[in-house]
A and B are shown apart, each in its own frame.
Chain A
Amino acid sequence: NAGVTQTPKFQVLKTGQSMTLQCAQDMNHEYMSWYRQDPGMGLRLIHYSVGAGITDQGEVPNGYNVSRSTTEDFPLRLLSAAPSQTSVYFCASSYHGQGAGNYGYTFGSGTRLTVV
């Protein structure tokens, strides 16, 4: 049981480049979300999904795009990378409803992104 798998683990981009951060889970979780973690800022929500075909914006969505065509995958796209997007990105998934509380949200190991 792999849990939540994020790739790549590290990435360096030049300003203006685009890329996709991959997130896959094998637990049949309905909920998936993307957070970024910056020093002194805590975890902030970028985008989230409550099921395949349904996505919505979080607290800091600008410059990012998401789609969810399957239950398992929830990729995060950086459209035109900027130095302000240098951060550690975490994907998380959970069951819906009471299951989200009972079992918590499972996080991936993160992608450390540097934009130069």
Chain B
Amino acid sequence: EDQVTQSPEALRLQEGESSSLNCSYTVSGLRGLFWYRQDPGKGPEFLFTLYSAGEEKEKERLKATLTKKESFLHITAPKPEDSATYLCAVRRTGYSTLTFGKGTMLLVSP
């Protein structure tokens, strides 16, 4: 059974204070690891897909990295508009669906 564990559950940062979110996973044959952002009352919004250990992807202040057991979402000099819940999900080879973690709720204060 695929498992995705995200930590911490919640994180409060000051504006400009960089940090990282963690996503540990267990999957039999990784087809892709996905990061999503979810704002209150809205559906998840796609950020990145990582496919293999060592891969990195960046978007504005966000950088996602992948190892064989976990992924990190690094947030550099965050702004209040980065406040959201960040979701991690895995897709197993041969499957069309995603298994999600419970998310990390990020609050960035001015």
Q: Is the CB of B42 within 8 A of A101?
A: no
Counting chain B CB atoms within 10 Å of each CB, the highest count among A42, A103, A109 belongs to: A42
Chain B residues in 8 Å Cβ range of A42: 87, 100-103
Q: Is the CB of A90 within 8 A of B43?
A: yes
Task: Given A43-B87, A100-B96, A101-B32, decide whether A108 and B49 contact each other with a Cβ distance below 8 A.
Answer: no
Residue of B with least CB distance to A103: B46
Partner of A48, one of B31, B32, B87, B96: B96
Q: How many residues of A contact B (CB 8 A)?
A: 28
Over the window 23-59 of chain B, the binary record of Cβ atoms lying under 8 Å from chain A Cβ atoms (1 yes, 0 no) is 0000000011010100001111111010100000000
Closest Cβ of chain B: how far from A22's Cβ, in Å?
15
Over the window 37-54 of chain A, the binary record of Cβ atoms lying under 8 Å from chain B Cβ atoms (1 yes, 0 no) is 000111111001010000
A102 interface residue per 8 A CB criterion: yes
Counting chain B CB atoms within 10 Å of each CB, the highest count among A44, A58, A92 belongs to: A92
Q: Is the CB of A107 within 8 A of B32?
A: no
Chosen A-B contacts, 6 in total, with CB atoms closer than 8 Å, are A42-B101, A43-B89, A43-B100, A45-B99, A105-B34, A107-B43
Query: Top 7 nearest A-B pairs by Cβ distance?
Result: A104-B46, A107-B43, A42-B102, A43-B100, A101-B32, A101-B49, A31-B96
A residues whose Cβ falls under 8 Å from a Cβ of B: 4, 31, 33, 35, 40-45, 48, 50, 58, 90, 92, 94, 96, 100-110
